[in-house]
Amino acid sequence: MNFIDRFKGIVPPVATPYHADGSVDTLSLKRLIRHLLDGGVHGLFLLGSTSECVLLDAKDRGRVLETALAEVNGKVPVVAGVMDAATDVCLNHARLAKSLGVDGLVVTAPYYTRTNQAETIDHFRYMHGEIGLPVVAYDIPVCVNIKLLRDTVHNLAREGLICGLKDSSGDEGGFRMLIRDFKDKPHFRLFTGSEIVADTAILSGASGCVPGLANVDPHAYVRLYDAAARGDAVAARREQERLIDLFQMVFWSGSELSPGAAGVGSFKVALKHKGIFEHGHMRRPNRPIPDAVQARIKEHLMSLGLS
Amino acid sequence: MNFIDRFKGIVPPVATPYHADGSVDTLSLKRLIRHLLDGGVHGLFLLGSTSECVLLDAKDRGRVLETALAEVNGKVPVVAGVMDAATDVCLNHARLAKSLGVDGLVVTAPYYTRTNQAETIDHFRYMHGEIGLPVVAYDIPVCVNIKLLRDTVHNLAREGLICGLKDSSGDEGGFRMLIRDFKDKPHFRLFTGSEIVADTAILSGASGCVPGLANVDPHAYVRLYDAAARGDAVAARREQERLIDLFQMVFWSGSELSPGAAGVGSFKVALKHKGIFEHGHMRRPNRPIPDAVQARIKEHLMSLGLS
Amino acid sequence: MNFIDRFKGIVPPVATPYHADGSVDTLSLKRLIRHLLDGGVHGLFLLGSTSECVLLDAKDRGRVLETALAEVNGKVPVVAGVMDAATDVCLNHARLAKSLGVDGLVVTAPYYTRTNQAETIDHFRYMHGEIGLPVVAYDIPVCVNIKLLRDTVHNLAREGLICGLKDSSGDEGGFRMLIRDFKDKPHFRLFTGSEIVADTAILSGASGCVPGLANVDPHAYVRLYDAAARGDAVAARREQERLIDLFQMVFWSGSELSPGAAGVGSFKVALKHKGIFEHGHMRRPNRPIPDAVQARIKEHLMSLGLS
Amino acid sequence: MNFIDRFKGIVPPVATPYHADGSVDTLSLKRLIRHLLDGGVHGLFLLGSTSECVLLDAKDRGRVLETALAEVNGKVPVVAGVMDAATDVCLNHARLAKSLGVDGLVVTAPYYTRTNQAETIDHFRYMHGEIGLPVVAYDIPVCVNIKLLRDTVHNLAREGLICGLKDSSGDEGGFRMLIRDFKDKPHFRLFTGSEIVADTAILSGASGCVPGLANVDPHAYVRLYDAAARGDAVAARREQERLIDLFQMVFWSGSELSPGAAGVGSFKVALKHKGIFEHGHMRRPNRPIPDAVQARIKEHLMSLGLS
């Protein structure tokens, strides 16, 4: 079965564990991969925002990919994030990822440079022309400061530059419009990046979901996906609501951490409490989750039967 | 005379020339440095936005610094931009820049990660603690998606983490407020990044200006600064208005290029027409300035006596 | 049965028809009301954005309310929009609406004035204290420039100032969070204002939907609601997808009209083609839908069996 | 001398005083007008944002205009703000203002409706065609949510729809560009709305300034204007810096009030302390300035020799 046939369902963005000194903790990473595979996930997204991708240099990115790919060993498709301000740096990241054996790439618009839609299409054109791996466009305007417009997604697909989209734009209406537009192209993969409307995205026809929270509870997201995919809205909603409850921990750090750090940080603290990660901290400038919140997360996991 | 005493006036962000294959063109870069020094500039800012800093990898950044520092040879202070999504990557860039002999650093908030004000202050704290060079904060919210708030600038200054600010926020009112706030701290350097309100910024008490357009006409910016610094508002305005006319070329590419690319691209095309750069193109994803606009820029320079 | 028990399901924001001279066309308005009641809608929202509320003076607002209330004659609950920059003007509008017999009010944050969350809560407090009708908060940041934060909604509900929320913020994730938060308060009414994710909003637990497009095809939205309310996700999705197809007409005016005008204008042109409205134009500054688009809408309605 | 010849210099947006019950306090308003005329202001802007225009109904607006026009008695030109979401409501406001004898109108883009640039030009076209008074465009995107683009200002001027612009956009660079563009049209009036960069705006060629703070200290703004207009940058800056110090009171209410309310509210409290206004409160939803801040403002005025 080729990549695109297999590439759907729950594809968690894999968090990156560190040793106390900040270096990549490959043992913990392997435990996480096994945890996710045990959970039944359908694919893995390495080096995404949840992986703190932009906080990792080329060597670290390589180590994450090697470790994860070895552990996965072909059981599920693996895609790697390629995000940087510069096209040429992205191409280097992509070449590395390709050489290590990933199945596809997940590519954002360049950031910092304030590229427009046309320049962004160029960026995907270079990626397609010089790498040749399947590319999923990653729409995350809060980070890169440009929204992939509906027309842009159409142009990218029509030209064969992308095989799908991961939508982390928060614009669920626009995402629904894309599901409509690509109805007759069932192999164009449309993933939501939302943890909290995964059930309805899949019920509406999305190919799957890329939820950071699946690091903590992959089993539940897989049950959610299975229910939604077979049209059982009630069962899907039940799983979703429990996961929304679980998700509340990302708000507990208040204004002390930025929203992105509070999200990823909470997931990593939960993974530590579950015995999967040795440490729960992030790379700088992200602050650690406050101790009181860490303790509260521990109770939260217990109360939800997750530790 | 120490760094901060010398660090004021016109400090152009130096554009980066490339060979046809995209590698850094050190010969053209040296010509540009000599052109700027001949123009009488008071300092140089390497690896800023106008340098396409984020499109350069560590090796290229090193080459730019080495080439420029050798050519400058201590005649004026040289500061280097340090900008990345990751604190640790920034620290690496900073260590390189320090080892090569720059006099100070220009540091933005981390981008992509959506850091808040507190995390941004942490970032500057790490930079100060681990590098020890003078740091100028670089406020450029259109690129990094966070504004350095007035309070944040005060906190950074009070803690001794920064020696000044380069303001490219477009918020001239806020900048005027900072000039007021630091009136009794004449060694805190406040630079405007605006090409078009440089005269009034300096008349209001700013320490200087970091205008990308000074790559093209450093002499005029130095005349502007000298006039404004001695309180001659009329002469400063005359220079400024001529420079605003020159600046119009950045709008001629219309929507084909993003604003940032249209700006830097126009400056580079002008430098090519002036015989300083061999080539005028930028790194990807930036598109080249359209041929018709390139021709128009040539005439523009002639009509303003600049070729 | 009291208001809140009846107030759920499909509650269209009723479009306002005009004579050629721009005055309110009460005959067409009555036809629209009958059309909506025939469609089985569960309530009516007068003087919302789709009604061009802010383009109507007090006299026109009164005429719309009187006409509609007479035609409805108690068959379904009727709520009236109260939106202005000034609290006191809003109170006047509210008094008029109350005196004419509406069942409840739909209140936005004041606009133009850039009120903060606390001042916005004050605004609702005045409305509650001086009018006494049930109030639905209307979250429409693209128009009023302030988002009703999750905490603000909680505060408003806790203090008893509102009985529900109409969400036109486009933030479906945030709306889902509110559905979770008010799970144990089944009488707190949560309506989505989205035409295109109505099915999933209701499947997720929303009380209903306030879709402008229901002016054109109320029957379909009622079928959608009934299906979603009984948990039939497949049938609900089928209706939704047909309605999304119908909705495409709002994009056909391109950049000639602003998005809001293009939406409301398309609905009114469709109502004209259906013989319900005499004229399809809007109040100034909204431009009329271009003739070519009007013709295309006619064909569109026929192809979807709607004329 | 006709309107446009006289219409330049310091044109304060006149604050609106209320009795304790919230009705317009015409006696205090007259005192303020005399205070401003005594200060030597060159014109008056009634019913602007500082007047809480959008919080006043038609009757109140009429009363403000009548009272002020009677007191001014032709000594200086008087312009009236015309701002509403609806073109037709704006036309009514404009007709009233014309009938009462104002010399010109100040017109924003419609708000709430999210008009685009073309619809905004239409709005000015209606105003010009149906009223016939000179119109100053008022660019205040934080309130109306649309920026008057450089091209739009050119189009409005070329078509003869406006005689000038009041810039409250905060985009001083863009304003400087307009000064350049209209250099050869000295009768096109370009006013800055900024309290804090008035000196440099006038030194750069602006026609004048519309500073809310001039309600409190008109004499200083007139001195500033005179100095800047005769090219005395040093004297203009001295006045400006004192006024910037005075202006700091707008920040003292912190997050309790929205920025607009904190600004206008501070000016009104100062006018009360100066014995010009009977009361210092604003219309709802604006909160009163906290008591502690009111006391601090009193000391502030004394320390600056203003009470």
ipTM of the complex: 0.97
Res D1 pLDDT > 90: no
DSSP-derived 3-state class of residue C220:
helix
Q: Which of A143, A142, A167 is nearest to A153 (CA)?
A: A167
DSSP-derived 3-state class of residue A294:
helix
The pLDDT of residue B95 is 98
CB contact under 8 A, C119 and D261: yes
DSSP-derived 3-state class of residue C87:
helix
The mean pLDDT value for A54-83 works out to 97
Half-sphere exposure of C208 (CA within 13 A, CB side): 27
Task: Give per-residue pLDDT as tens, B188-220.
Answer: 999 999 999 999 999 999 999 999 999 999 999
- Calculate Rg over the CA atoms of chain C: 18
CB contacts < 8 A, A to C, total: 62
User: How far from the centroid of its chain's Cα atoms is residue A109's Cα?
Assistant: 16
For chain C, how long is the longest CA-to-CA vector?
51
Any CB–CB contact under 8 A between A55 and chain B?
yes
Residues from chain A contacting residue C231 (CB–CB below 8 Å):
233-234
Give the integer Cα–Cα distance in Å for A295 and B80: 43
Task: Give per-residue pLDDT as tens, C70-124.
Answer: 999 999 999 999 999 999 999 999 999 999 999 999 999 999 999 999 999 999 9
Any CB–CB contact under 8 A between B203 and chain D?
yes
The mean pLDDT value for A23-43 works out to 98
The pLDDT of residue B48 is 97
Res D258 pLDDT > 80: yes
Any CB–CB contact under 8 A between D255 and chain B?
no
Any CB–CB contact under 8 A between D245 and chain B?
yes
The chain A residue lying nearest B58, using CA atoms, is A89
Residues from chain C contacting residue A170 (CB–CB below 8 Å):
171-173
The pLDDT of residue B307 is 83
In this prediction, residue D91 has a pLDDT band, given cuts at 50, 70 and 90, of: very high
Residue percentage of chain A with pLDDT more than 90: 98
The mean pLDDT value for D282-295 works out to 96
Any CB–CB contact under 8 A between C229 and chain A?
no
Task: Give per-residue pLDDT as tens, B112-167.
Answer: 999 999 999 999 999 999 999 999 999 999 999 999 999 999 999 999 999 999 99
Q: Residues D256, D290: contact at Cβ < 8 Å?
A: yes
Task: Give per-residue pLDDT as tens, B115-125.
Answer: 999 999 999 99
Residue percentage of chain A with pLDDT more than 70: 100
Q: Do chains D and B touch (3 or more CB pairs under 8 A)?
A: yes
The mean pLDDT value for D192-206 works out to 98
Q: Do chains C and B touch (3 or more CB pairs under 8 A)?
A: no
User: How far from the centroid of its chain's Cα atoms is residue C135's Cα?
Assistant: 14
Give the integer Cα–Cα distance in Å for C263 and C194: 12
The pLDDT of residue D232 is 96
Give the integer Cα–Cα distance in Å for B230 and D261: 40
The pLDDT of residue A236 is 98
The pLDDT of residue C142 is 95
User: How far from the centroid of its chain's Cα atoms is residue B120's Cα?
Assistant: 21
The pLDDT of residue C126 is 98
The pLDDT of residue D307 is 82
The mean pLDDT value for B225-238 works out to 97
Q: Cα angle at A222 between B112 and A33, to 5 degrees?
A: 60
> Which residue in A203, A248, A255 has the most chain C C-beta atoms within 10 A of its own C-beta, making it the best mutation to test that interface?
A203
CB contacts < 8 A, C to D, total: 127
Residue percentage of chain D with pLDDT more than 90: 98
Task: Give per-residue pLDDT as tens, C129-188.
Answer: 999 999 999 999 999 999 999 999 999 999 999 999 999 999 999 999 999 999 999 999
In this prediction, residue B47 has a pLDDT band, given cuts at 50, 70 and 90, of: very high
Residues from chain A contacting residue C240 (CB–CB below 8 Å):
204
Res B1 pLDDT > 80: no
What is the DSSP annotation of B98-139? HHHT-SEEEEEPP-SS---HHHHHHHHHHHHHHH-S-EEEEE
Sign of the dihedral defined by the CA atoms of residues D282, D285, D286, D289, in that order: positive
Res B269 pLDDT > 80: yes
The chain D residue lying nearest B179, using CA atoms, is D241
The pLDDT of residue C301 is 98
The chain D residue lying nearest B235, using CA atoms, is D231
In this prediction, residue B41 has a pLDDT band, given cuts at 50, 70 and 90, of: very high
Task: Give per-residue pLDDT as tens, A220-261.
Answer: 999 999 999 999 999 999 999 999 999 999 999 998 999 999
Q: Which of D105, D208, D119, D131 is nearest to D155 (CA)?
A: D119
The Cα-based distances of C125 to C133, C149, C275 in angstroms read: 12, 16, 43
Res B94 pLDDT > 90: yes
Any CB–CB contact under 8 A between D177 and chain B?
yes
Q: Which residue has the tokens 């133009």?
A: C112
Structure tokens at C294: 């009007």
Q: Which amino acid is at B256?
A: E
- Calculate Rg over the CA atoms of chain A: 18
Give the integer Cα–Cα distance in Å for C136 and C146: 16
Minimal Cβ distance to B233: which of D171, D196, D233: D233
> Which residue in B183, B192, B197 has the most chain D C-beta atoms within 10 A of its own C-beta, making it the best mutation to test that interface?
B197
In this prediction, residue A1 has a pLDDT band, given cuts at 50, 70 and 90, of: confident
Write down which chains contact chain B via at least 3 CB pairs under 8 A. Answer: A, D
- Residue numbers of B between 92 and 111 with CB closer than 8 Å to A: 92, 110-111
Q: Please, which residues have CB within 8 angstroms of residue C148's CB and are 6 or more apart in sequence? A: C109, C117, C120, C137, C139, C141, C156, C165, C169
DSSP state of A110: P
Q: Please, which residues have CB within 8 angstroms of residue D177's CB and are 6 or more apart in sequence? A: B196, B244, D150
DSSP-derived 3-state class of residue B191:
strand
The mean pLDDT value for D131-146 works out to 97
> Which residue in B112, B123, B256 has the most chain A C-beta atoms within 10 A of its own C-beta, making it the best mutation to test that interface?
B112
Residues from chain D contacting residue B245 (CB–CB below 8 Å):
180
The mean pLDDT value for D263-269 works out to 98
Any CB–CB contact under 8 A between D196 and chain B?
yes
Res B30 pLDDT > 80: yes
Structure tokens at C207: 């009380």
Structure tokens at A93: 């990241």
Give the integer Cα–Cα distance in Å for D66 and D62: 6
State the CB neighbour count (10 A cutoff) for residue B74: 9
Any CB–CB contact under 8 A between C120 and chain D?
yes
Res C1 pLDDT > 90: no
Write down which chains contact chain D via at least 3 CB pairs under 8 A. Answer: B, C
CB contact under 8 A, A233 and C197: no
Res B103 pLDDT > 80: yes
Structure tokens at C89: 């003007």
Give the integer Cα–Cα distance in Å for B192 and B45: 13
Give the integer Cα–Cα distance in Å for C171 and A155: 26
Average pLDDT along chain B: 97
Average pLDDT along chain A: 97
The mean pLDDT value for B96-125 works out to 97
Any CB–CB contact under 8 A between D306 and chain C?
no
CB contact under 8 A, B114 and A259: yes
The pLDDT of residue A307 is 82
Q: Which of A162, A173, A167 is nearest to A147 (CA)?
A: A167
What is the separation, in whole angstroms, between the first and last Cα of chain A? 36
What is the total residue count of chain B? 307
User: How far from the centroid of its chain's Cα atoms is residue B79's Cα?
Assistant: 10
Give the integer Cα–Cα distance in Å for C292 and C294: 5
What is the total residue count of chain D? 307
Residue percentage of chain C with pLDDT more than 70: 100
- CA of C136 vs chain A CAs: smallest distance (Å): 23
Task: Give per-residue pLDDT as tens, C265-290.
Answer: 999 999 999 999 999 999 999 999 99
Any CB–CB contact under 8 A between A24 and chain B?
no
The mean pLDDT value for D285-305 works out to 97
